[in-house]
A and B are shown apart, each in its own frame.
Chain A
């Protein structure tokens, strides 16, 4: 590979010990790349542990703007002796291995085909800092300083980032800047710098932002008008409600009374969390919860109630690796079947699949509208990779003229004009019926909400005809949903290929890159990015108009493929799978490799 290809095009991996403050130092590196106008994709690969186990942090730098993960480490920053043997093996031939040279490396760790850069991090820390915690924290900043010299990170950019990070705690700026300087000075005194793999300032980012999907969901819930959040902590979804709380405290506290225009309850479990959400939505407040797969398993019964009793509900499922507790800090797209048909009986749920932080924001706000419009649960499926890792994203946009769509709700004046209100009467023939909030009118509009069968006036019945009519109306509503859910994104303007890729969620990044790689080998691919279930007519047309369909997804059982086959009139034999379910985000190389072996 020529030197030019290594400018703004490499992967740095940091190997740290969990709980040593390394993630924020490593984020500093990613943010500095971003500030230098270059695409950076950080991935925090962390254990299910608070302190002591190995943790890694990858930053892929890409001039071309590829935001997916890439295998192959060009620069390993190794500060964890526990994982060092394997970390050395993962460096690409010709790559670099930066390590703490306070102690000599064992003979066995020496590879002839990579370059070693020793920086006596611990020794420098012991010399420069007296407080043990500072020694640990500044060790991280010293290696960022070393990288700054080796890879051309602009010093001013780092200094500015410290100023922003420690606004209000200005005392901390100087020691951090000093740590960077220490690292830089050591490199300048001992090594040739900069390296061939390095950064060069560009102007590729425009007005884009760097943010994680969970924060975007929390912010979207504030903008979308959610007033009640009920939740139970679970990795990787916890930061959704934490973000909601942060923004609600910022924007939703009444300046006159000091009281909150929101309510957040940390429930006793996920069952109670979804129960509260259903109770609040029943009573006319927009409400949501966030959880991960194990939580969705617990919420099944309530989801069936919300489907059958027709109560708006927004559930954000930040997926992680299952089954059971699985790998709780690793990513996967493996709750699709669970979410689509959650609960017993003939139930099915509207799913939405955001791919980027911007879509997390938009689809959270939109789903609050959609849930009330359709009076049914909306399950938003993100994943750990999107939710917890920072992504470069288009900025958030809001139209101040936008009004919330509260759906078909009758108020006192509407009821006054009516002779008899029928909660489940399909007045508009779209399967979506009118509801009332409790307390609306003294004598009209009350009804009994129940999970048992009922007639159009919400009166309990075991009459077969009334039951079937209701189930068929719910099916009609399902068809109405197809017209309202987020439409898929099609990639087929230029090509008319016989092969169609189908992907969704965070597979977007690797899939787009893989299509470029295949195009370089003159293999044209059409593609569709799914954004919702039920599938609309565009999905059906895309599947039927291609000879071979390849569904790319991050689970073992090809769950989206099954869902397509189950729901659409298509020939299963033409639908192939590309799968990755090792807990790490799928890569373009994986897709191309599996495609070539199909």
Chain B
């Protein structure tokens, strides 16, 4: 990278400066034009509504953004936020039931039966197998009784029949999001459905759904080599903060959370002040807001839940995880970094971009193109979340015949380069140009724009930061990059994890029926 001729470099730099100036204008125009299109309203219950008019086609997309995720799961109940997200598809007292009054009574009995069963099951000594079997039977019978009143999947059925597209939700460590797109003439129907499930959730079919979520864990984590590795990697990198805890939930916990616990989570975190709802598309704020206000006022008010107070202590010892199994080798490492509100947030983005973005990136050129030891190599941050201090992570996929140790050494060499020499003017300018262009490219999609507005509104209290972040991007200097690299990328701040490939053990047979 350092071998470019002066003339190339200089003309390239000039061109980049001109480009940056052109884009600067585009950015200013965009914020201004978006201020014309976007209306924000905070309801008396604290819920924030954002409507963005983009009448390209007679459709809209929405995002409900809850400022709570699996990081907020109470101790011993990992996976609860995600469980609740699944519950939010099960309907309300008005949809999904033939007789809510009777169903409510039956659901209370399900909880009683579950509590009785769990109490026996969890007895450290003196568990009575016969009693346990009876309690299990009673629990299953109570569920069957409650199920009599269920109209399965009616909530999603009504949405899908009305044209819902891309109907889904996601639970991260930091937040929970619900989203879909719809023809614009179904705005009021959507507002009824969405506000209903936020304010009037019924813990219907909870225990069946818990089995489904455990299957989700088996798919994403247990039966996937990278899923297993990342779970161990995070659990090792964090000693105090919940970022180290399995997001989908540890098997013993997610398989035993109860509907009562899920509803307590809902009561605490699904309050207006913790919710942003964004609508983007063929809607007029003047017509849409009164409808949204009517329905979303139903969401209970309440204080914004207190933030987690646990702060991950400074790491002072390097940690390493080695998984030995019959899958191909892999290497990942991470360094603790501050959260998104840190003044250096954009500096971390710059490092990620310069190290990883495309075939010009340092890791590609070094590990993939020149040394030919990796099929893929990247750095990214923050991981696994951005609300609290996360990690700056690097990973590499070795080519056949190459080892995790080689990946590690090669990545460290590139990190050392960041610490000892400035990045080039071209690299820094490239980061700034690409940041702007990427932001602009993202504006042409209702769902993407809706998600971004909701996220920035939640994280910064102002959606304008989606555009204003470019000011922070602009201010990043070469000295910043060198300073931050020296600050963060130290051996004692590092956790690494790797898969070392074991030869198949042909003679060794597993016991039949082993769990």
A binds B: no
Residues of A within 8 A of B (CB): none
Residues of B within 8 A of A (CB): none
